[in-house]
Amino acid sequence: MRLLLLTLLLSLPLAAEFRAAVVKVDITPATPKWLLGYADRQSTGVHDPIHHRIVALDDGQSQFVLVSTDLCMFSPSVYDEAARRLETATGVPALNFWWTVTHTHSAPEIGPSGVYPVLLPGRSRHPVDTEYTAYIIDSLVTGAKQALAQLAPARLSSGTGMSLANINRRARDVDGRISLGLNPDGPADRQIGLLRLEKADGSPLALIANYAMHGTVLNGQFLQISGDAPGIVAAYVEQKLGAPMLYINGAAGDLAPIYSVYPDPRSGHLTQFNVLLGDRILAANQRLPAATATVKLAAYEHWIESPRKPSLSWTPELPRYQRGNLVRLPIRLLTINDTAIWSAPVELFCAIALEVRRQSPFPQTFYFGYTNGWIGYLPTKAGFAEGGYEPATSVFTDQVEADLTTGLIPFLQGLPRP
């Protein structure tokens, strides 16, 4: 009997070992580049370097690659090309590859640019920089391969913090007119979502920090390449922590930094964000619970369809993101133990992310914005009624909030939980 029991125990599968790795790749160009985020303009130098920061995760059953890049945005077709390249090179499927941008407005444009004339008319009238675009994809794939090759036993912890570094940017005048500015009475998401990766010995491996804030401390007069506040904060935290930090932007469609659109770093108090946000990230990291080596990853995709605004055309560059007069929006979801993360290739108004979080059954729910491409702004129904820049340029109609929440929330509520 004892022999039978021992045989049965030995035949049971061993618990899968969680492994992780991180790679940081400098992507700062050596020559002037067209910058994206304001009117057409070319860089004249470099204020601070920009990077890919790449994390690879392996729970013993599947591998997942998360990339945060110091860029403003790019077409979903750029993501699709990178995903095809990565799967060919590593076997990691597109479902398990998320590529986010910090949304700095002081970084080079990458193409193809078919989505820009639709959503940013008059702001991308120059030829696509195919050489730099190819370099961005090549360096991402190379960095991801390196991270996957370096996977080693690791532990993970997650939690939240809070920072007042952002503010609603939909300023309201006495006549009700909405314009880009600062609105301290408007909704804002101040949550910092944190995922901490540790080596097996407990030393820091990487920190993933999720916070909603436009990368617009610097305005269009500033012509040097910069990661803006997200890049400055990431570098500051890395110096204090001794490990890379991935800045993952959130639902920043209507959220600005509290110092916004200044002509130079000094007048924009750029380094003050190290105190306003960087120190808050470090403090929240200290409060995270003990890390665990028992980690389960599960990735999902759920497409949402919503009418396209009749006044806007569509680009032939993105055939799989439309069906007739409907925009098809890919929502990605990832569960990591009791934390749920969802993402979309849009600039989401924060009230929508707050409502999804409120109705989520998971103890922690994070939203990763600007992920796997960019299809412009996704405002609330109330935002469309108020007007302003974001609804005016959105490809969607005022039905999109309802389509997103009624499609996403029941799907999120039905996901398996540990």
Closest CA to 55 of 243, 281, 214, 240: 243
Residue 247: strand pairing partners? 209
Tokens of residue 151, six digits = 């996977």
Q: What is the pLDDT of residue 4?
A: 44
CA distance 135 to 51: 12
C-alpha span between 328 and 301 (Å, rounded) = 12
Residue entry with tokens 């605004």? 309
Mind listing the pLDDT tens digit for each residue in 342-358? 999 999 999 999 999 99
Judge whether 253 and 378 are in contact, CB under 8 Å: yes
Angle, helix 76-90 to helix 130-149, in steps of 10 degrees: 40
Q: How far apart are CA 19 and CA 59, in angstroms?
A: 6
Question: What is the Cα–Cα distance from 71 to 133, expressed in whole angstroms?
Answer: 11
Does the pLDDT of residue 3 top 70, yes or no? no
How far is it, in rounded angstroms, from Cα 79 to Cα 267? 35
Q: Supply the pLDDT for residue 13.
A: 45
- In tens, the pLDDT along 208-222 reads 999 999 999 999 999
pLDDT tens digit sequence for 94-153: 999 999 999 999 999 998 777 777 777 766 678 889 999 999 999 999 999 999 999 999
Predicted local confidence at residue 2, as pLDDT:
52
What is this structure's pTM?
A: 0.95
Average pLDDT, the chain: 94
pLDDT higher than 50, residue 9 = no
Count the neighbouring beta carbons within 10 Å of the beta carbon of residue 302. Answer: 16
* Domain boundaries along the sequence of the chain: 19-149
Provide the pairing of β-strand 204-211 with 245-249: parallel
Rounded-to-integer distance, Cα 228 and Cα 218, Å: 7
Q: What is the arithmetic mean of pLDDT over 224-233?
A: 98
Query: What is the distance between the alpha carbons of residues 74 and 113, in angstroms, rounded to a whole number?
Result: 8
Reported as a pLDDT band with limits 50, 70 and 90, residue 6 is very low
Beta-bridge partners for 26: 51
Under 8 Å between Cβ of 403 and 323 = no
Question: If DSSP states are collapsed to H, E and C, what string results for 33-73?
Answer: CEEECCCCCECCEECCCCEEEEEEEECCCCEEEEEEECCCC
What would the two tokens of residue 239 be?
A: 């110096």
Average pLDDT of 54-73?
Answer: 98
What integer pLDDT is reported at residue 8 of this predicted model? 41
Contact present, 243 and 22 (Cβ < 8 Å)? yes
The maximal CA–CA distance of the chain, rounded, in angstroms, is 84
How many beta carbons lie within 10 A of that of residue 266, not counting itself?
9
